[in-house]
Amino acid sequence: MPTVSELPSPLTLLPRAQAGDEQAMNHLLNHITPYVAPWPSKRLSESPSLLIS
């Protein structure tokens, strides 16, 4: 398994992923996964308690 220093940075992965490189896309998705929050399971209109006042 590669170390952190051996992994390409997201800035170098993006152009490769946009060009269709599946491995670059997988690495890029692994980089951003911790920052992506799950969507609420209910619509805001169905659950007023989810609305921020």
Residue 3 pLDDT level (bands cut at 50, 70, 90): low
Report long-range pairs for 32-35 (Cβ below 8 Å, ≥24 apart): none
Both tokens of residue 24?
């670059």
Which is more confident, 21 or 30?
Answer: 21
CA distance 1 to 35: 22
Mean pLDDT taken over the chain:
74
According to the model, what pLDDT value does residue 17 have?
A: 92
Q: pTM higher than 0.85, yes or no?
A: no
- For the segment 25-34, what is each residue's pLDDT rounded down to a tens digit? 999 888 888 7
